[in-house]
Structure 1
Amino acid sequence: MKHILLVIGLVWGLGIGARGQAGRADMVLLNGKIFTSDAARPSAEALAIRGERIIAVGTVAEINKLAGPNTRRIDLQGRVVTPGFNDAHNHFDPMPAGFRLAFTSMEPSWEETSQAIKAAAQQVPAGTWIFGTVGSKVVLDPLVTRAALDALAPNHPVLLGAFYGHGKIANTKALPLLQLDIEQPDPLGGKYERITGSRELNGRMHEYAEWRANFVLAAQVPDTAVIRALRAMAAEAAGYGITTMQLFTILPTDRFVRLLTQANLPVRVHARPFPLTTPQGRETTELRKLLTPPMPKLGPRVQVSGIKWVLDGTPYERGAALRTAYRDQPNWKGELNFKEDEVGKMVQEGLDWKQPLLFHCAGDRASEVVFNALEANETNVNWPARRVRIEHGDGVVGDLIPRAKRLGVVVVQNPTHFTEPALFGQRWGNKMQPLRSLLAAGIPVALGSDGPMNPFLNIMLAGINPANPAEAITGQQAVQAYTAGSAYAEFAEKDKGTLAVGKLADLAVLSQDIFSVPPPELPKTTSVLTIVGGKVVHDAKVLK
């Protein structure tokens, strides 16, 4: 009885505030339009923070009662507040020093590209890397080979890569620097194109072959440069009100986690391992060691979990695996990077290691293969509790939607992929890239950038979906997907994603009302105040 009375006394001693725990707050935010992403209380005027967490959400009068003489008071001046944005899918792939070609568009022609390479070769010392980011016009041109690049820059290593991450072309000088033999065998899930009639590489590489090149390049970047790049990325994120980044990287996971910890970033990072392959199979030794307890010591805002596998390419290069032929290439359905039985092995590994599974699936055939593998284990596994992720999920359509719902799959979508309606319409029609139908079916949806980090650009694109306008969603739904949805996708919904009592105080005060401005104005939005765990990590100095 003594213990019970003591507990009751402690509770009464703390007191109960409006819709929250009591006691004096360290910080109160007052006079705002607070969008909580919490269905129980979608809006509020004010909230209170103590330590890392929110202790109350309510009216100005209610929250004022929790303020004491040492409480920091912030007048929001009617500004919109949202939970901190959680970028559910982004990449961090550092590159070594070199000369980077500049183009006026994402899709330079081969003529523009060749002129830029020739000019660079005349400007920079021999042996200097020349890097170029190009589009499908160059990457899909079969005449752009290492021989063509050699003719332009015989004394410089040259590497061209698609801005959408699927397709690279290297010249002869680049091959040894990428640790490639002239007759390098293909890795599992990847391909080196060959000179006709021989085994010699022609410089063109795809999927896991090209990502091996990224891995070799990233290894050449010093730790100090990696940390500098991480801090710059985190500062940009905080300026947009992004408080969590879920990052894939080509760096070895142990090195990435070590450098994240050393960088001590102002925002949270959930590192998502992205293992590679060899001609002998998938490389999982490092992951098995890393993901088996005891886990390495991490920084206060660093987490690592999950295993990502890329099952197909994209519509740009007709690499997305489809169940029907491409409209502009009737004899071609794309192809899977791995056979179905290999996908089954991936699923079993995730179960054995108790790790979340994240599958890149652009085409409907790729998603179908994942669902087949899950259903093969359905009698023994509660798949909804595992939250298998389909990254991109452009092909989760039609009959795959009820299967995704039943399996509890989470779809992580990237609205910047919706910006090619003409090209993608030629490739696979206008029935792909769903959003609204997924939400209507009750499928968890998260949003990530996988490109420009600006969440407000992605919210705009989710709200118009130029590739499939019937699948557009509301601004509120987009923000929920970018906050609560992304938290759910990383098993973090108990701590973040909504502005509610007991949740981490991760939030953003926005420069304009994103729920009322015209869609073209949305990308101009920034955060004027970003808070992570109750601490201000970005302040534009417009609030008192």
Structure 2
Amino acid sequence: MEKIFKNGKILTMAPGVPPAEAIAVQFGRIFKVGQNAEIERLATSETQIIDLQGQTVLPGFIDTHNHFCLYALLTDQADCRPAAGCIKGDDVIEALRAQAAKTKPGKWIMGWGYAPYLLEDKKELTRIDLDRASPKHPICLVHVSVHGAVVNSLALKKLGYTKKTPHPPGGIIYRDKNGEPNGILSESAFMNPLFFQRPSIYAQMVAEYDAQGRVEMVLRCAARYQKLGLVGVHDPFVDSLTLQTYQEAAKTGRLNFRLYSYILNQWADPLIAAGIKRGFGSEWVKIGAIKIFLDGGMSSRTAAVSKPYVFPKGAGRGILNYDQKGINQEIEKFHRAGYQISVHAQGDRALAMLLKAFQRSIDKENSLRHHIVHAGNLTSTQIEEVRDLGLYITSQPNFFSLLGDGFREAYGEERS
């Protein structure tokens, strides 16, 4: 036996199974769980024995919705959370200014963890504010919901957004009283250039690191997660460069952290053509589900809801990236091809469309384990439909602490 952990409180989380005292490990896998005496009998002269001294052991946690690749990059960028000292709008500007001071002019800068409702002064920053941080760097300040951002004037120029630029399908370019873009972007207006266009802002920033630097960035991020008890994540969308970096990190032998990599539906046709299915890869890096974005986020007022948002006035009912026919086609396409499907849907209007699409295509057993991401506005009837279809929900309880004030502001007290 390779290793034995003894004298602990081992919680297997199996129903009706009392806590054990010891674990035996062989070939990197749990071989047996039991009491000290029976496990110690498996030891040989070469077995490493670890005395837990009464500590509790839990199964490792797997986060089923975690933007690992983005977080790995953002930890080298400006932390604009209140927890990092950004209490007011000017603090956010100062954090971005500090990042600019150590970044070559002309290179992109990102800030993360920002939302007006998290600040004491409730300051909604615009391009004019971000221009104070640096006019020589394109700046993208990502909203805490990751469904919107604020950019500065140079970034708007690089994106090609002008007074004459129409809203992109599924996105909003907000404007000042003169009709000029004010730097605030929602959904596809921000996510397309940040993630989905080629080359994306994210890909340009990651490419600033050499191959070894990218690998080290992944390994550092994995180590942070492991300290919190996480042993793996489902990364909701992974581009080709990131997937390559994950694979290179695994080759080092130092990545003892599992990365289940989702592929955006717009990028998935080469997988179908090559016959690459879910689970393809290694022990540490695997191809996961096909990811589809149906609507946006609640705190950013872009989740597709039935009743208009209460605040601000005129915020509307959110956005949809597909009509009913379009989402039907996407679900049917990937289900027939044998792929697991993961769909971002938050508002009740989007969820109604998605459930209709799943009803048309999937089997009752849901053998491919299709799931809905967030599903924050399910009605009682829709909850029953989810149950009857055998769908899974990947929910995020921490949204209440991160985004709860934004939910209440968007929906008003009564609907919240």
The TM-score normalised by the length of structure 2 is: 0.80
Matches within 5 A, 1:92-171: 92-93=69-70, 95=73, 100=78, 104=82, 108-114=87-93, 126-133=105-112, 135-137=114-116, 144-146=125-127, 149-150=130-131, 153-171=134-152
Task: Indicate which of 260, 265, 271 corresponds to 2:246.
Answer: 260
Distance 1:297 1:64, change over 3 A: same
2:189 is the alignment partner of 1:209: yes
Match of 2:12 in 1: 36
In structure 2, relative to structure 1, the CA distance for the partners of 1:84 and 1:196 (3 Å cut) is same
8 Å CA contact 1:110–1:138 kept in 2: the answer is: no
Q: CA deviation at 1:373?
A: 1.1
- CA displacement at 1:240 relative to structure 2: 2.3
Matches of 1:423 and 1:96 in 2, distance apart? 22
The answer on 1:172 being equivalent to 2:142 is no
CA radius of gyration, larger in? 1
Counterpart-to-counterpart distance in 2, 1:431 and 1:68: 65
In the TM superposition, residue 85 of structure 1 has moved relative to its aligned partner by 1.1
Aligned to 1:482: none
> Cα 1:102–1:163, aligned 2, differ >3 Å: closer, same or farther?
closer
Correspondence for 2:298: 315
How much does 1:116 deviate? 5.9
- Counterpart-to-counterpart distance in 2, 1:152 and 1:37: 50
Amino acid of the structure 1 residue aligned with 2:374: H
- Which of 38, 61, 83 aligns to 2:37? It is 61
Question: Compared with structure 1, are the counterparts of its residues 298 and 125 closer, same or farther at alpha carbon in structure 2 (3 Å cutoff)?
Answer: closer
- Given that 1:95 and 1:217 are in contact with CA atoms closer than 8 Å, whether structure 2 keeps it comes out as no
Q: What count of residue pairs does the alignment treat as equivalent? A: 396
SS of residue paired to 1:306: strand
Give the counterpart letter for 1:74 in structure 2: I
Structure with the bigger RCO (C-alpha within 8 Å, sep 6+) is: 1
2:264 alignment counterpart? 274
Work out which of the residue numbers 227, 230, 234 in structure 2 matches 1:239: 227
What is the CA distance between 1:53 and its match in structure 2? 2.6
SS at match of 1:49: strand
Q: State the 1:325 CA deviation.
A: 3.7
Q: Deviation of residue 350 (structure 1)?
A: 1.8
Deviations 1:85-138 (A, max 9, x none): 111111122659997375645875445445666787789765354433363328
**Other structure's SS at 1:403 match:** helix
Match for 2:322 among 326, 329, 338? Answer: 338
**RMSD (Å), alpha carbons:** 3.7
Q: Residues 60-79 of structure 1: matches in 2 within 5 Å?
A: 60-79=36-55
The 1:285–1:407 alpha-carbon spacing in structure 2 relative to 1, beyond 3 Å, is same
For structure 2, list consecutive stretches of 5 or more residues without a partner in the other structure. none
Change (3 A) 1:143 1:44: closer
Which residue type is aligned with residue 428 of structure 1?
Answer: Y
Match for 2:386 among 404, 407, 424?
404
The match for 1:388 is 370
1:218 is paired with a residue whose SS is helix
Q: CA–CA distance in 2 between the matches of 1:119 and 1:217?
A: 20
Unaligned ranges ≥5, structure 1:
1-24, 276-281, 433-466, 468-544
Opposite residue 213 of structure 1, the aligned amino acid is: P
SS in structure 1 at match of 2:320:
coil
Question: Are 2:170 and 2:319, in contact at CA under 8 Å, matched by a contact in 1?
Answer: no
What do residues 179-227 of structure 1 show as CA deviations (whole Å, max 9, x unaligned)? x4646665543333457787x7553322123122323222222333321
Output one character per residue of 1:309-359: Cα deviation in whole Å (capped at 9) or x when no partner: 222222222222223343446863333332222211221122132111111
TM-score (norm 1): 0.63
Q: In structure 2, which of residues 339, 343, 347 is the aligned counterpart of residue 363 of structure 1?
A: 347
3-state secondary structure, aligned to 2:264: coil
Q: Contact 1:99 / 1:128 at 8 angstroms: preserved in 2? A: no
Q: Distance in 2 between matches of 1:294 and 1:426?
A: 42
* Aligned equivalent of 1:504: none
- Supply the distance in 2 between the matched residues of 1:124 and 1:27 (Cα, whole angstroms): 46
SS across alignment from 2:236 = strand
Change (3 A) 1:375 1:184: same
Task: State the shift of 1:303 in Å.
Answer: 0.6
Determine the C-alpha separation between the residues in 2 that align with 1:226 and 1:398.
45
Change (3 A) 1:118 1:43: closer
Residues 29 and 76 in structure 1, CA contact (< 8 A), matched pair in contact too: yes
CA distance in 2, matches of 1:337, 1:288: 22
Identity %: 27
Structure 1 residue 274, shift from structure 2 partner: 3.1
